[in-house]
Amino acid sequence: MKLTIEEVEHIAALARLELTEDEKQRYAEQLSDILDYAARLDELATDQIPPTASVLDMQLRLREDQSRPGLSQEEVLRNAADTQDKQFKVPPVFGGQE
Amino acid sequence: MTDLTQLTVRDSLAGLRAGDFSSVELTRALLQRIDSLDPEIHAFLTLTPDSALAAAQAADDLRASRPADLPPLTGLPLAVKDVLCLKGVRTTCGSKILENFIPPFTATAVQRLVDAGVVPLGKTNTDEFAMGSSTENSAYGTSRNPWDISRVPGGSSGGSAAAVAARMTPAAFGTDTGGSVRQPCSFCGTTGIKPTYGRTSRYGLVAYGSSLDTVGMIARNVADVATLFQYMAGFDPLDATSVQLPVPDYTLPETDSLKGLRIGVPEEYFIEGIQPEVEKRVRSAIAQMEAQGATAVPIHLPHTEYALPVYYLIAPAEASANLARYDGIRFGPRLGEGEDLWHMFTETRGRLFGPEVKRRIMLGTYALSAGYYDAYYGKAQKVRTLIKRDFDLAFEEVDVIAAPVAPTTAFKFGQHTDDPLAMYLEDVFTLPANLAGVPGLAFPVGPDSKGMPVGMQLMGPHFCEDLLFQVGHAYQLATQWHERWPEVTNQA
């Protein structure tokens, strides 16, 4: 199979990645090659095989619902590109694409 | 006086205990060697000489003030792969998108060794977000193989393996999602453990493939790795997939007898295309183990060839979800904020992630997208079950499985950079252990004709790291390959 440039653009939008025209070309080819390679999995009949999401046979663990100390607000904000009034600051949510 | 940089972990600890040298002297000797050699090797992304010397001084003071109940690793210097958080020290993951990230906490596996007394020297180079097999995907330049600086050190823990091989540190943390501890160990002639999934905490390890990620250790021999692993391993309430099992005593019996051990030799790991000298070295290591009393048994892991496509669907799928958090808001630089939120997201991510990371995010996003989920991700999860069953069945017959770590010894820079699939094929023998969750121990078994190290891996049943250590240690008691070290000189 061969991914089209439109498909690559769609995937890039889902992944929130701005790609150059050159990157779109390259990824169309490389992803197609990798997916072709992955198609060899179809050689195996797996209708009766359960999927493995985790290799460990374990139960989900719950903890007591008790408050406990965490990071300070200052520590949480320290790595942010922009903050204001002890909050993360972001550009306008509306007005662009989608 | 002994050159302190040449000491193993166990000899360093013994010397510190005996008062032959101080932690400050040991730390200073290693920092000087790093200063002199790292311009050539580029194993480190961030060095922390001031805090290292302060920690070493504190260790020496503690030893002087209460020698009776010292933490077991007091004053031992060690390096940390730059995908593991160390509080207050820049953690980049080899990526521009975390160029200035200073974590407010320390990864549990690292914290446990810090609590046991180690002195962190700095953070080692890695392929960006641990995605790669050569360190060529690091945004901060590649590391070089101390055996031949025109060759890659392997990856993604290439900085850690190169630092240990060049004797810039007695040991270093690595992480292994698809072979990232074992393959650089093979390329650099070091010894390293990829633990059972869930044996070491993933808390504070920057996530790549969450169902595959493990935190491991790289050193010069099995006994050193086991000594450190003793204190890293174990349950952590902060990691939901950490396993509540007691950690056994990893103290190794000083015997080279392997009497009664059944070693499985999987035919599927000796395939066409493997470098003949790799096969020869691994087979002679197995023969050596037979001479020590073990029995080699030919076995089959019939789904081995499918591990590569399964891994390159599952790991990118998990990565595409994990890396969604890099959005320019909570950490990292921000681009494109002149317009709106959408452009900030796409420009920050599009320009600050490197080519391999974007390739895997794209691949994973596609494999998870509507209409393709069952055909790719769902299918891969089912075949993963078959790969795991191969191991379950094999371990009914044999105690451990012996195989090459990689099909070749270290390759030259640029050899695979234009062909992602060729690079992925480097991982063909390491991926199955991650998909099955089983532990793997890699160690050197002799050089190829160019003098480059060949690595062998032992794989065992879940949570049987102790058995792997015993077998590897018995082999190293009977052989000297792990004592072969490169002569590194600063030619820069």
Give the closest residue to B439 by CA, choosing from B233, B295, B244: B233
Type of residue at B239: D
Instruction: Give the distance from residue A29's alpha carbon to the nearest chain B alpha carbon, in angstroms.
Output: 11
Q: How many CA atoms lie within 13 A of B227 on its CB side?
A: 24
B 291-350: CB under 8 A from A: 303, 305-306, 308-310, 312-313, 320, 324, 327-334, 336-347, 349-350
DSSP readout, B325-374? Answer: G-SSSSSS----TTS-HHHHHHHHHHHHS-HHHHHHHHHHHHHHSTTTTI
The whole-number pLDDT of residue A59 equals: 75
CA gap B391, B189 in Å, rounded: 27
Say how many Å lie between the first and final Cα of chain B, rounded. 27
Give the closest residue to B125 by CA, choosing from B105, B104, B145, B148: B145
Is B81 in the active site? yes
pLDDT along chain B (492 residues), means of 10: 92 97 98 97 98 98 93 98 98 97 97 98 98 97 97 97 98 98 98 98 98 98 98 95 95 97 97 93 98 98 97 97 96 88 95 97 95 94 98 98 97 90 89 98 98 98 98 98 88 50
**CA–CA distance from B120 to each of B76, B114, B180 (Å)?**
9, 8, 21
CA gap B159, B161 in Å, rounded: 6
Structure tokens at B355: 């080519």
pLDDT in tens, A41-68: 999 999 999 999 889 877 778 888 999 8
Mutation to test the A interface, candidates B199, B201, B327, B340, most A Cβ within 10 Å: B340
Nearest to B421 among A33, A49, A56 (CB): A33
The whole-number pLDDT of residue B146 equals: 98
User: Which chain A residues have a beta carbon less than 8 Å from that of B197?
Assistant: 55-56
* Residue appearing with tokens 């690559």: A8
Mark yes or no for CB contact A96/B385 under 8 Å: no
Structure tokens at A19: 């790609």
CA gap B300, B360 in Å, rounded: 31
Q: Give residue A96's pLDDT band: very low, low, confident or very high (50, 70, 90).
A: low
CA gap B81, A4 in Å, rounded: 38
The whole-number pLDDT of residue B358 equals: 98
The whole-number pLDDT of residue B491 equals: 54
Structure tokens at B59: 């260790």
Minimum CA–CA partner of B311 in chain A: A38
User: Which chain B residues have a beta carbon less than 8 Å from that of A41?
Assistant: 306, 309-310, 379-380, 383
The whole-number pLDDT of residue B272 equals: 84
The whole-number pLDDT of residue B326 equals: 97
Please check the confidence at residue A98 and state whether its pLDDT lies above 50: no
CA gap B196, B459 in Å, rounded: 10
Instruction: Give the distance from residue A67's alpha carbon to the nearest chain B alpha carbon, in angstroms.
Output: 14
The whole-number pLDDT of residue B382 equals: 98
The whole-number pLDDT of residue A95 equals: 66
Instruction: Give the distance from residue B216's alpha carbon to the nearest chain A alpha carbon, in angstroms.
Output: 18
Q: How would you classify residue B126: left for phi > 0, otherwise alpha for psi between -120 and 50, otherwise beta?
A: beta
CA gap B187, B412 in Å, rounded: 11
Quickly count: other Cβ atoms within 10 Å of residue B358's Cβ.
Answer: 22
The whole-number pLDDT of residue B426 equals: 87
Q: Treating both helix axes as pointing N-terminal to C-terminal, what angle do A21-38 and B307-322 enclose, rounded to 10 degrees? A: 140
Mutation to test the B interface, candidates A4, A7, A10, A18, most B Cβ within 10 Å: A18
ipTM of the complex: 0.94
* Residue appearing with tokens 């390096």: B79
Count how many residues are written for chain B.
492
The whole-number pLDDT of residue A62 equals: 84
The whole-number pLDDT of residue B376 equals: 95
Q: Among residues B156, B186, B201, B242, which one is catalytic?
A: B156
Q: Among residues B12, B22, B23, B81, which one is catalytic?
A: B81
CA gap B443, B456 in Å, rounded: 6
